Structure 1
Amino acid sequence: MRKVISLLCSLSIIFSLLASTMDAAEINPKKLLEKKYPRERVTVSKSIDLNGDNKKEHLLITDSNNFYFINSKGVIVLIDTNYYNEEDPTFHIINISPKEKHVAITLDYPPSNTELFVFKYQDGTLKKKLSIIGDVSIQISKSGEIRQAWKNYFPEGGWDTSVAYYKWNSKKDKYVGSGELSR
Protein backbone atom coordinates (compact mmCIF):
# COMPACT_ATOMS: atom_id res chain seq x y z
CA MET A 1 0.00 0.00 0.00
CA ARG A 2 2.82 2.42 0.84
CA LYS A 3 4.39 1.76 -2.56
CA VAL A 4 1.12 2.55 -4.34
CA ILE A 5 0.63 5.78 -2.39
CA SER A 6 4.25 6.75 -3.01
CA LEU A 7 3.87 6.03 -6.73
CA LEU A 8 0.64 8.04 -6.93
CA CYS A 9 2.24 11.00 -5.14
CA SER A 10 5.23 10.89 -7.47
CA LEU A 11 2.99 10.75 -10.55
CA SER A 12 0.84 13.66 -9.35
CA ILE A 13 3.96 15.78 -8.77
CA ILE A 14 5.28 14.96 -12.25
CA PHE A 15 1.92 15.73 -13.89
CA SER A 16 1.57 19.03 -12.05
CA LEU A 17 5.07 20.06 -13.15
CA LEU A 18 4.31 19.12 -16.75
CA ALA A 19 0.97 20.95 -16.69
CA SER A 20 2.56 24.19 -15.45
CA THR A 21 5.27 24.09 -18.15
CA MET A 22 2.66 23.35 -20.80
CA ASP A 23 0.59 26.34 -19.61
CA ALA A 24 3.60 28.68 -19.85
CA ALA A 25 4.36 27.46 -23.38
CA GLU A 26 0.74 27.90 -24.47
CA ILE A 27 0.09 31.46 -23.30
CA ASN A 28 -2.84 33.10 -25.05
CA PRO A 29 -1.68 36.73 -24.84
CA LYS A 30 -5.05 38.30 -25.71
CA LYS A 31 -6.92 36.32 -23.07
CA LEU A 32 -4.19 36.91 -20.50
CA LEU A 33 -4.29 40.68 -21.02
CA GLU A 34 -8.08 40.87 -21.12
CA LYS A 35 -8.29 38.80 -17.93
CA LYS A 36 -6.00 41.20 -16.06
CA TYR A 37 -7.44 44.34 -17.71
CA PRO A 38 -11.11 43.56 -18.55
CA ARG A 39 -11.69 46.95 -20.22
CA GLU A 40 -8.86 46.46 -22.72
CA ARG A 41 -9.52 44.88 -26.13
CA VAL A 42 -6.55 43.85 -28.26
CA THR A 43 -6.59 45.29 -31.77
CA VAL A 44 -3.06 44.42 -32.95
CA SER A 45 -0.81 41.64 -31.67
CA LYS A 46 2.36 39.82 -32.59
CA SER A 47 4.23 36.96 -30.90
CA ILE A 48 7.94 36.47 -31.51
CA ASP A 49 11.10 35.23 -29.80
CA LEU A 50 13.04 38.46 -29.26
CA ASN A 51 16.11 37.12 -27.45
CA GLY A 52 16.81 33.72 -29.01
CA ASP A 53 15.71 31.61 -26.01
CA ASN A 54 13.09 29.69 -28.08
CA LYS A 55 10.28 31.25 -26.00
CA LYS A 56 7.90 33.79 -27.48
CA GLU A 57 7.28 37.25 -26.16
CA HIS A 58 4.02 39.01 -27.03
CA LEU A 59 3.35 42.53 -28.30
CA LEU A 60 -0.18 43.94 -28.01
CA ILE A 61 -1.86 47.25 -28.79
CA THR A 62 -5.36 47.80 -27.47
CA ASP A 63 -8.39 49.81 -28.54
CA SER A 64 -7.51 52.34 -25.83
CA ASN A 65 -4.20 52.90 -27.69
CA ASN A 66 -1.97 51.26 -25.05
CA PHE A 67 1.08 49.19 -25.96
CA TYR A 68 1.63 46.14 -23.74
CA PHE A 69 4.44 43.60 -23.61
CA ILE A 70 4.04 40.10 -22.19
CA ASN A 71 7.31 38.27 -21.57
CA SER A 72 7.73 34.51 -21.97
CA LYS A 73 6.81 33.99 -18.29
CA GLY A 74 3.45 35.73 -18.73
CA VAL A 75 4.37 39.00 -16.98
CA ILE A 76 2.39 41.92 -18.46
CA VAL A 77 4.10 45.33 -18.76
CA LEU A 78 2.52 48.58 -20.01
CA ILE A 79 5.21 49.95 -22.32
CA ASP A 80 3.64 53.15 -23.64
CA THR A 81 0.36 54.93 -24.33
CA ASN A 82 -1.19 57.00 -27.14
CA TYR A 83 -0.66 54.62 -30.06
CA TYR A 84 -3.52 56.09 -32.03
CA ASN A 85 -3.83 56.56 -35.74
CA GLU A 86 -6.56 56.16 -38.34
CA GLU A 87 -5.24 52.73 -39.35
CA ASP A 88 -3.96 50.01 -37.05
CA PRO A 89 -0.33 50.39 -35.93
CA THR A 90 2.12 48.02 -37.59
CA PHE A 91 4.76 45.92 -35.83
CA HIS A 92 8.10 45.39 -37.59
CA ILE A 93 10.88 43.15 -36.31
CA ILE A 94 14.45 44.32 -36.93
CA ASN A 95 17.00 41.49 -36.86
CA ILE A 96 20.08 42.90 -35.14
CA SER A 97 21.77 39.51 -34.62
CA PRO A 98 20.67 35.86 -34.32
CA LYS A 99 19.99 36.41 -30.60
CA GLU A 100 18.71 40.00 -30.71
CA LYS A 101 15.70 41.53 -32.41
CA HIS A 102 14.25 44.99 -32.00
CA VAL A 103 10.57 45.86 -32.16
CA ALA A 104 9.58 48.77 -34.39
CA ILE A 105 6.09 50.23 -34.49
CA THR A 106 4.89 52.51 -37.26
CA LEU A 107 1.87 54.77 -36.96
CA ASP A 108 0.64 56.17 -40.27
CA TYR A 109 -1.09 59.54 -40.44
CA PRO A 110 -2.43 60.09 -43.99
CA PRO A 111 -1.62 61.54 -46.38
CA SER A 112 2.13 61.13 -45.76
CA ASN A 113 3.32 61.27 -42.14
CA THR A 114 4.71 58.18 -40.41
CA GLU A 115 5.85 57.97 -36.80
CA LEU A 116 8.33 55.27 -35.79
CA PHE A 117 9.23 53.91 -32.36
CA VAL A 118 11.96 51.28 -31.91
CA PHE A 119 12.36 49.21 -28.75
CA LYS A 120 15.07 46.86 -27.51
CA TYR A 121 14.29 43.86 -25.30
CA GLN A 122 16.31 44.54 -22.17
CA ASP A 123 16.01 43.46 -18.52
CA GLY A 124 12.75 41.59 -19.13
CA THR A 125 10.96 44.51 -20.78
CA LEU A 126 11.17 46.80 -23.82
CA LYS A 127 13.23 50.00 -23.73
CA LYS A 128 12.61 52.77 -26.28
CA LYS A 129 15.75 53.39 -28.35
CA LEU A 130 14.47 55.57 -31.22
CA SER A 131 11.50 57.83 -31.90
CA ILE A 132 11.26 59.72 -35.21
CA ILE A 133 8.69 61.14 -37.60
CA GLY A 134 9.02 60.96 -41.36
CA ASP A 135 6.68 63.49 -42.88
CA VAL A 136 7.55 62.09 -46.31
CA SER A 137 8.30 58.45 -45.46
CA ILE A 138 10.05 55.95 -43.21
CA GLN A 139 11.53 52.71 -44.50
CA ILE A 140 13.24 49.82 -42.73
CA SER A 141 15.70 47.79 -44.82
CA LYS A 142 16.31 44.06 -44.39
CA SER A 143 19.73 44.91 -42.92
CA GLY A 144 18.01 46.93 -40.17
CA GLU A 145 18.88 50.40 -41.44
CA ILE A 146 16.09 52.95 -41.00
CA ARG A 147 15.60 55.64 -43.65
CA GLN A 148 13.71 58.77 -42.64
CA ALA A 149 12.61 61.22 -45.35
CA TRP A 150 11.39 64.51 -43.98
CA LYS A 151 10.41 67.98 -45.20
CA ASN A 152 13.14 70.57 -44.71
CA TYR A 153 11.24 73.86 -44.98
CA PHE A 154 12.77 77.05 -46.42
CA PRO A 155 12.31 80.34 -44.50
CA GLU A 156 10.75 81.92 -47.59
CA GLY A 157 8.34 79.00 -48.11
CA GLY A 158 8.47 75.62 -49.79
CA TRP A 159 10.59 72.64 -48.84
CA ASP A 160 13.08 70.02 -50.01
CA THR A 161 13.14 66.38 -49.01
CA SER A 162 15.96 65.61 -46.61
CA VAL A 163 17.04 62.07 -45.77
CA ALA A 164 18.48 60.67 -42.54
CA TYR A 165 19.69 57.13 -41.89
CA TYR A 166 19.72 55.35 -38.53
CA LYS A 167 21.75 52.23 -37.79
CA TRP A 168 22.02 50.29 -34.52
CA ASN A 169 25.35 50.68 -32.70
CA SER A 170 25.61 47.96 -30.05
CA LYS A 171 28.68 49.53 -28.42
CA LYS A 172 26.78 52.78 -27.81
CA ASP A 173 23.50 50.91 -27.16
CA LYS A 174 21.58 53.30 -29.42
CA TYR A 175 20.66 54.11 -32.99
CA VAL A 176 23.18 56.44 -34.58
CA GLY A 177 21.97 58.84 -37.26
CA SER A 178 23.73 60.07 -40.38
CA GLY A 179 22.72 62.21 -43.33
CA GLU A 180 20.41 65.16 -42.78
CA LEU A 181 18.96 64.60 -39.32
CA SER A 182 15.64 66.28 -38.58
CA ARG A 183 15.64 69.12 -36.10
Structure 2
Amino acid sequence: MRKVTSLLCTLSILLCLVAPTLNAASVNPKALLEKKYPRERVTVSKSVDLNGDNKKEHLLITESGNFYLINSKGVIVLIDTNYYNEEDPTFHILNISSKEKHVAITLDYPPSNTQLFVFKYQDGTLQKKLSIIGDVSIKISKSGEIRQARKNYFPEGGWDTAVAYYKWNSKKDKYVIYGEFPQ
Protein backbone atom coordinates (compact mmCIF):
# COMPACT_ATOMS: atom_id res chain seq x y z
CA MET A 1 0.00 0.00 0.00
CA ARG A 2 2.86 2.32 0.83
CA LYS A 3 4.45 1.74 -2.59
CA VAL A 4 1.16 2.51 -4.37
CA THR A 5 0.68 5.72 -2.37
CA SER A 6 4.28 6.74 -3.03
CA LEU A 7 3.87 6.03 -6.74
CA LEU A 8 0.64 8.06 -6.92
CA CYS A 9 2.26 10.99 -5.11
CA THR A 10 5.25 10.91 -7.47
CA LEU A 11 2.99 10.79 -10.52
CA SER A 12 0.86 13.70 -9.27
CA ILE A 13 3.97 15.80 -8.63
CA LEU A 14 5.29 15.04 -12.13
CA LEU A 15 1.91 15.86 -13.65
CA CYS A 16 1.86 19.21 -11.84
CA LEU A 17 5.31 20.02 -13.21
CA VAL A 18 4.54 18.95 -16.79
CA ALA A 19 0.98 20.34 -17.07
CA PRO A 20 1.93 24.06 -17.23
CA THR A 21 4.50 23.28 -19.93
CA LEU A 22 1.97 21.37 -22.01
CA ASN A 23 -0.59 24.13 -21.56
CA ALA A 24 1.83 26.91 -22.59
CA ALA A 25 3.01 24.99 -25.66
CA SER A 26 -0.53 24.33 -26.87
CA VAL A 27 -1.68 27.97 -26.82
CA ASN A 28 -3.53 28.90 -30.00
CA PRO A 29 -2.98 32.66 -30.42
CA LYS A 30 -6.09 33.13 -32.59
CA ALA A 31 -8.30 31.34 -30.09
CA LEU A 32 -6.72 33.25 -27.19
CA LEU A 33 -7.40 36.62 -28.84
CA GLU A 34 -10.93 35.70 -29.93
CA LYS A 35 -11.72 34.44 -26.43
CA LYS A 36 -10.67 37.75 -24.86
CA TYR A 37 -12.21 39.84 -27.66
CA PRO A 38 -15.18 37.84 -29.02
CA ARG A 39 -15.98 40.37 -31.77
CA GLU A 40 -12.49 40.19 -33.27
CA ARG A 41 -11.72 37.75 -36.11
CA VAL A 42 -8.08 37.16 -36.99
CA THR A 43 -7.29 37.47 -40.71
CA VAL A 44 -3.47 37.50 -40.66
CA SER A 45 -1.13 35.98 -38.09
CA LYS A 46 2.52 35.10 -37.65
CA SER A 47 4.44 33.54 -34.78
CA VAL A 48 8.13 34.33 -34.34
CA ASP A 49 10.76 34.62 -31.61
CA LEU A 50 11.53 38.35 -31.69
CA ASN A 51 13.98 38.60 -28.80
CA GLY A 52 15.98 35.35 -28.92
CA ASP A 53 14.53 33.81 -25.74
CA ASN A 54 13.37 30.66 -27.61
CA LYS A 55 9.73 31.61 -26.93
CA LYS A 56 7.47 32.78 -29.73
CA GLU A 57 5.61 36.05 -29.81
CA HIS A 58 2.42 36.14 -31.89
CA LEU A 59 1.45 38.92 -34.33
CA LEU A 60 -2.22 39.17 -35.29
CA ILE A 61 -4.28 41.51 -37.47
CA THR A 62 -8.07 41.32 -37.31
CA GLU A 63 -10.93 42.03 -39.73
CA SER A 64 -11.50 45.35 -37.94
CA GLY A 65 -7.90 46.38 -38.74
CA ASN A 66 -6.51 46.06 -35.22
CA PHE A 67 -2.90 44.91 -34.82
CA TYR A 68 -2.21 42.83 -31.69
CA LEU A 69 0.86 41.30 -30.13
CA ILE A 70 0.67 38.33 -27.78
CA ASN A 71 4.04 38.29 -26.05
CA SER A 72 5.78 35.16 -24.79
CA LYS A 73 4.10 35.56 -21.39
CA GLY A 74 0.66 35.39 -23.02
CA VAL A 75 -0.15 39.09 -22.52
CA ILE A 76 -2.31 40.54 -25.32
CA VAL A 77 -1.29 44.06 -26.34
CA LEU A 78 -3.14 46.28 -28.85
CA ILE A 79 -0.31 47.81 -30.87
CA ASP A 80 -2.12 49.92 -33.46
CA THR A 81 -5.34 50.28 -35.47
CA ASN A 82 -6.40 50.85 -39.11
CA TYR A 83 -4.51 47.97 -40.74
CA TYR A 84 -6.96 47.06 -43.43
CA ASN A 85 -7.33 47.39 -47.15
CA GLU A 86 -8.66 45.28 -50.03
CA GLU A 87 -5.72 42.87 -49.74
CA ASP A 88 -4.51 41.35 -46.49
CA PRO A 89 -1.55 43.04 -44.80
CA THR A 90 1.77 41.19 -44.96
CA PHE A 91 4.20 40.61 -42.08
CA HIS A 92 7.94 40.78 -42.73
CA ILE A 93 10.54 39.93 -40.10
CA LEU A 94 13.73 41.99 -40.43
CA ASN A 95 16.87 40.36 -39.00
CA ILE A 96 18.66 43.46 -37.76
CA SER A 97 21.26 41.47 -35.80
CA SER A 98 21.59 38.06 -34.16
CA LYS A 99 19.81 39.44 -31.08
CA GLU A 100 17.36 41.86 -32.68
CA LYS A 101 14.47 41.46 -35.10
CA HIS A 102 11.99 44.07 -36.27
CA VAL A 103 8.43 43.53 -37.48
CA ALA A 104 7.44 45.22 -40.72
CA ILE A 105 3.90 45.34 -42.08
CA THR A 106 3.10 46.26 -45.66
CA LEU A 107 -0.30 47.34 -46.90
CA ASP A 108 -0.63 47.31 -50.68
CA TYR A 109 -3.01 49.68 -52.43
CA PRO A 110 -3.16 48.72 -56.13
CA PRO A 111 -2.03 49.67 -58.65
CA SER A 112 1.24 50.89 -57.08
CA ASN A 113 1.06 52.39 -53.58
CA THR A 114 2.54 50.53 -50.60
CA GLN A 115 2.45 51.64 -47.00
CA LEU A 116 5.09 50.30 -44.58
CA PHE A 117 5.21 50.29 -40.79
CA VAL A 118 8.24 48.98 -38.89
CA PHE A 119 8.24 48.09 -35.19
CA LYS A 120 10.98 47.21 -32.72
CA TYR A 121 10.26 44.66 -29.96
CA GLN A 122 11.03 46.36 -26.66
CA ASP A 123 9.91 45.72 -23.06
CA GLY A 124 7.28 43.13 -24.01
CA THR A 125 5.60 45.31 -26.67
CA LEU A 126 6.27 46.78 -30.12
CA GLN A 127 7.41 50.38 -30.62
CA LYS A 128 6.78 52.00 -34.04
CA LYS A 129 10.08 53.13 -35.55
CA LEU A 130 9.19 53.90 -39.16
CA SER A 131 6.09 54.72 -41.22
CA ILE A 132 6.45 55.47 -44.95
CA ILE A 133 4.53 55.27 -48.21
CA GLY A 134 6.02 54.34 -51.56
CA ASP A 135 3.82 55.48 -54.42
CA VAL A 136 5.95 53.43 -56.84
CA SER A 137 7.20 50.61 -54.56
CA ILE A 138 8.77 49.56 -51.28
CA LYS A 139 11.32 46.75 -51.16
CA ILE A 140 12.94 45.15 -48.11
CA SER A 141 16.35 43.50 -48.44
CA LYS A 142 17.45 40.44 -46.47
CA SER A 143 19.73 42.66 -44.38
CA GLY A 144 16.75 44.81 -43.34
CA GLU A 145 17.49 47.80 -45.56
CA ILE A 146 14.32 49.41 -46.92
CA ARG A 147 14.11 50.92 -50.40
CA GLN A 148 11.32 53.46 -50.97
CA ALA A 149 10.60 54.48 -54.56
CA ARG A 150 8.24 57.37 -55.12
CA LYS A 151 7.23 59.81 -57.81
CA ASN A 152 9.22 63.03 -58.04
CA TYR A 153 6.99 65.34 -60.09
CA PHE A 154 8.37 67.91 -62.53
CA PRO A 155 6.88 71.44 -62.49
CA GLU A 156 6.09 71.18 -66.21
CA GLY A 157 4.37 67.81 -65.75
CA GLY A 158 5.45 64.21 -65.65
CA TRP A 159 7.62 62.56 -63.06
CA ASP A 160 10.78 60.61 -62.43
CA THR A 161 11.42 57.95 -59.79
CA ALA A 162 13.14 59.13 -56.62
CA VAL A 163 14.67 56.48 -54.36
CA ALA A 164 15.35 56.73 -50.63
CA TYR A 165 16.96 54.08 -48.45
CA TYR A 166 16.34 53.46 -44.75
CA LYS A 167 18.80 51.56 -42.58
CA TRP A 168 18.55 50.81 -38.86
CA ASN A 169 21.03 52.65 -36.63
CA SER A 170 21.12 50.99 -33.22
CA LYS A 171 23.10 53.83 -31.61
CA LYS A 172 20.44 56.38 -32.61
CA ASP A 173 17.60 53.83 -32.07
CA LYS A 174 15.98 54.82 -35.36
CA TYR A 175 16.05 54.29 -39.10
CA VAL A 176 18.34 56.73 -40.89
CA ILE A 177 17.61 57.81 -44.44
CA TYR A 178 19.96 58.35 -47.35
CA GLY A 179 19.41 58.81 -51.07
CA GLU A 180 16.72 61.14 -52.37
CA PHE A 181 14.75 62.43 -49.39
CA PRO A 182 10.94 62.37 -49.50
CA GLN A 183 9.34 65.76 -50.06
Aligned runs of 1:90-129 on 2, under 5 Å?
Answer: 90-129=90-129
Q: CA deviation at 1:158?
A: 2.2
> Does 2:133 align with 1:145?
no
Aligned position for 2:85: 85
CA shift for structure 1 position 26:
2.2
Which residue of 1 is the match for residue 170 of structure 2? 170
Match of 1:133 in 2: 133
Quick check: 1:24–1:72 contact (8 Å CA) kept in 2?
Answer: no
Q: How many residues align?
A: 183
- Give the aligned partner of residue 64 of structure 1: 64
1:12 offset after TM fit, Å?
A: 2.5
Please state whether the residue corresponding to 2:91 is helix, strand or coil.
strand
Equivalence for 2:35: 35
Q: Is 1:74 matched up with 2:74?
A: yes
Q: Which moved more, 1:8-17 or 1:84-93?
A: 8-17
Query: 2-side partners of 1:47 and 1:124: how far apart?
Result: 15
Q: Which residue of 1 aligns with 2:21?
A: 21
Measured in 1, the distance between the counterparts of 2:81 and 2:2 equals 58
Are positions 1:53 and 2:57 aligned together? no
Amino acid at match of 2:125: T
Q: Which runs of 5+ in 1 are unaligned?
A: none
TM-score by length of 2: 0.93
Alpha-carbon displacement from aligned partner over 1:144-166 (angstroms, at most 9, x marks no partner): 11000011223333222110000
How far the C-alpha of 1:4 sits from its partner, in A, is 6.2
Deviations, residues 100-143 of structure 1 (Å, cap 9, x unaligned): 11100000001100000000110001110100000000000111
User: What runs of 5+ residues in structure 2 fail to find an aligned partner?
Assistant: none
Confirm whether residue 155 of structure 1 aligns to residue 155 of structure 2: yes
Residue identity matched to 1:53: D
d(CA) in 2 for partners of 1:173, 1:9: 53
CA distance in 1, matches of 2:46, 2:30: 10
1:61–1:83 CA contact under 8 A, matched in 2? yes
